[in-house]
Chain A
Amino acid sequence: MAEPDQHTVARDQRDPGEDNVLEMRDISVTFDMDRGVSRVIDNVDLDLKRGEIMGIVGESGSGKSMLAATMLDAVVDPGQASGEITYYPKDGEPIEVLDLPKDELKRVRWEEISMVFQGAMSSFNPTMKIRGHFKETLDAHDVDREAGFKNAYRLLSDLHMDPKRVLNSYPHELSGGMKQRALLALSLLLEPEVLVMDEPTAALDLLMQRSILTLLEDIQEEYDVTLVFITHDLPLVTKLADRLAVLYAFEVVELGPTRKIGERAAHPYTRALLKSTPNIDAPLEEMRPIEGESPDPINIPTGCSYHERCPLADELCVESDPGREEIEPEHQAACFHWEESAEAIPLNYEIGGDGEGK
């Protein structure tokens, strides 16, 4: 996929050696409210590499759904997104997502960057068979029905369903797990380059969640799509994601290859998050909840937004906001004291395998 073409020239000038499919620069989302300006995404920089599975992890209220919506310029009014989002199609000119006219934006969504919103399972029209939903999508994008349904059959059976039965069912006749898989098939119907999923498994039980993860892993390979998996559930994505971005208070506080974060999580918040998760193999005594609550978007603490909950915080953290810096190749964290975090917040799991990260 990384074959250079005429457009990679411009790309290489920005970010040498990388084949990014989406680049987000200085992304902020603000809401004007009576209580003041609410900043629900704060200067986020994030790149998606072509063909990777990116896990974005954060608590409720960390801004993760807003970040997902921003990737498709789908922030609801009166929210204002600013910054730069550049989408690089496999072939063709780079596209500035936030500057697109309405009709072009409509095409880019679904056909280029598709999305599964949180709770979207219930967005199926209850009076329309699943087939109708597929038909509508194909028609709205002027795609030939025959070819489109061929693709639908393939997707549905790759998602372990009987395509005929599913297409002929009304939404209420399908279980939650089947509805969610039908929705995944629908979102992949127009062969997008990027699929952004916001809590795609949240309402399902664990066995279905994990089963869907195995399917996503296969789908990613077979359809050569870049996946973004957004969740509050860190252990859910540790096996799936190639890279992780940890969101705290509307900023990406740590970013890196999953394995490196697993071995050397640097930000105190990431470490606390890893520690707070009930883990079937960890000793019970070592699971600790994170003290305190995530901040209100109107009232973000000065300096480092995590300082009120952080055991390592000092004067410096109260006064100034640490930027994200590289702590090892490809691994970044936004913390003044990351070198001390491993000792201050020991983790309760062992990294298996043979040591070095991939």
Chain B
Amino acid sequence: MSTDDTVLSMEDVSVEFEMEGNLINPFSKTDTVQAVDSISLDIPSNDVVALVGESGCGKTTLGKTAVALQQPTAGSVKYRGQDIWEARNSRNPSIPYEEIRQSLQIIHQDPGSSLNPNRRVRAILSVPLKRTHPDLSAEDRESRVLGMLETVGMTPAHDYAGRYPHQLSGGEQQRVALIRALLMNPDLILADEAISALDVSLRVDMMDLMLDLQDQFDTSFLFISHDLSNARYLAEHSGGRIGVMYLGEIVEIGPAEEVVSNPKHPYTKVLKWATPSIDFTSEVGEMPVRDIDIPDPVDPPSGCRFHTRCMEAREVCREQSPDPVTSDGRQQSAACFREYGDDHPYWESQPLE
């Protein structure tokens, strides 16, 4: 986990989208949604970062920005020190854009639709090999493909290589997508809800495989999930971090174990409540949020963006926005006034009703 060896570095990255034809507010011609708001995040080589948050919190946009599929509207994204978007537009970058693109790979939530339905597994997996190893003979390529299929437990490999995607189960399709990404020799793989579509009992399997391959191939993973327990499984096994996102901001980030066992931000606590744990004793109980729905990102709340749902919110949270702070020698930081110490005006402020 050395920081000199940073694969990817995002600095004050913002991504805005413009929405036209809004029905709710006819007075504004275009609305902007700030999907990602001034986020800085470094990903060292061989590291795992898991981003968690609700739908619409910006985690997918941030992930796509990290692997150069989305251009930020502000801030910089650097691959090994080279600004990615400069590399694309410059004639003479220190690292060619093509090479950067190849080093940053993605696997999607729905593997079925990301694999070409008209091509057999053998053909699907030969494409990246032809690009990364143009000199390989057809036989060598075939044996690499079969070897990879065996590595991920798809045996007999010959049989699987001859199948079409629809002849594979969801888990097998996801494995093929994972192999295809790995064959590009990437430094970073974005796994966007990559296991969410799998049955619960298959998820642990798939995560174990990802951890194995991450170790074997020295790849970093940026793992996106709405499920804190999956994020924890991957990040904790690999000594990685968990970042919690809410309405375009990272509200808490730190070592997986600390974030899960001792969450600081009220929103992280809410996510932890929402994580199914095998519990036969209690009732479902009350919701620990004041509002069930995430606010409209077109018009985010003032101050701390979570204040409209936070049970701990006070007047000051409506007026001011807390910056992330790290408390008492821990590595985890949270953006909440409750972490600012006992003398912060928060404690004197009126609770919101």
Contacts and interface: CB of A to CB of B under 8 A. Distances in A.
Interface string B44-56: 0000000000111
Interface string B329-342: 00000000000000
A205 B226 contact: yes
A206 B208 contact: no
B67 interface: no
A212 B55 CA distance: 15
B266 to A, nearest CB: 13
Interface stretch (B28-36, B85-93, B285-293, B345-353): B285-293
A160 interface: yes
Interface string A333-358: 00000000000000001011100000
Interface stretch (B124-132, B137-145, B270-278): B270-278
Nearest to A277: B200
A131 interface: no
A59 interface: yes
A178 B283 contact: no
B260 A280 contact: yes
Given A263-B280, A279-B278, A284 B233 contact: yes
Contacts of A289: 201-202, 204-205, 208
Interface string B192-208: 00000001111111011
Residue among B54, B56, B237 having the largest count of chain A Cβ atoms under 10 Å: B54
B37 interface: no
B228 A160 contact: no
A258 B200 contact: no
Contacts of B278: 234-235, 238, 262, 274, 277, 279, 282, 349
B227 interface: yes
Contact of B55 (A205, A240, A351): A205
Given A278-B203, A278-B230, A207 B280 contact: no
Given A207-B270, A276-B204, A289-B204, A175 B275 contact: no
A236 B289 CA distance: 19
Given A206-B271, A263-B280, A278 B204 contact: yes
Contact of B201 (A210, A213, A276, A282): A276
B280 A262 contact: yes
Nearest to A263: B280
Contacts of B285: 214, 239
B112 to A, nearest CB: 14
A209 interface: yes
Nearest to A265: B280
Nearest to A213: B284
B123 interface: no
Given A233-B276, A278-B203, A289-B208, A351 B233 contact: no
B274 A239 contact: no
B175 interface: no
Given A211-B289, A235-B276, A259 B281 contact: yes
B292 A239 contact: no
Nearest to A174: B293
A235 B227 CA distance: 13
Contacts of B226: 205-207
Interface in B224-277: 226-230, 232-233, 236-237, 260, 270-277
A332 to B, nearest CB: 18
A273 B280 contact: no
Contacts of A262: 278, 280-281
A352 B281 CA distance: 6
A39 interface: no
Contacts of B201: 59, 272-273, 276-277, 289-290
Contacts of B233: 278, 284, 287
Residue among A206, A232, A290 having the largest count of chain B Cβ atoms under 10 Å: A206
B225 to A, nearest CB: 9
B51 to A, nearest CB: 13
A301 B287 CA distance: 44
B294 interface: yes
Interface string B19-41: 00001000000000000000000
Interface residues of B, number: 48
Given A205-B55, A232-B199, A289-B208, A351 B273 contact: no
A357 B120 CA distance: 53
Contacts of A274: 278
A160 B292 contact: yes
B4 interface: no
A208 B292 CA distance: 7
A288 interface: yes
Contacts of B232: 278, 280
A272 B292 CA distance: 34
Contact of B293 (A178, A217, A259): A178
B200 A232 contact: yes
Interface in A279-306: 279-282, 284, 287-290, 293
A320 interface: no
A247 to B, nearest CB: 13
A239 B284 contact: yes
A284 B234 CA distance: 10
B277 A281 contact: yes
A209 to B, nearest CB: 7
Interface in A229-269: 232-236, 238-240, 258-259, 261-263
B261 to A, nearest CB: 9
A93 interface: no
A121 to B, nearest CB: 13
Interface string B291-302: 111100000000
B279 interface: yes
B58 to A, nearest CB: 13
A122 interface: no
8 contacts: A206-B227, A238-B278, A272-B201, A274-B278, A289-B201, A289-B202, A289-B208, A352-B281
Given A59-B199, A206-B228, 16 more contacts: A160-B292, A175-B55, A204-B55, A205-B54, A206-B226, A206-B274, A207-B274, A234-B278, A235-B276, A239-B280, A278-B204, A278-B232, A279-B278, A280-B277, A293-B169, A349-B278
Q: Top 7 nearest A-B pairs by Cβ distance?
A: A262-B280, A235-B276, A205-B226, A353-B281, A207-B274, A210-B274, A289-B205
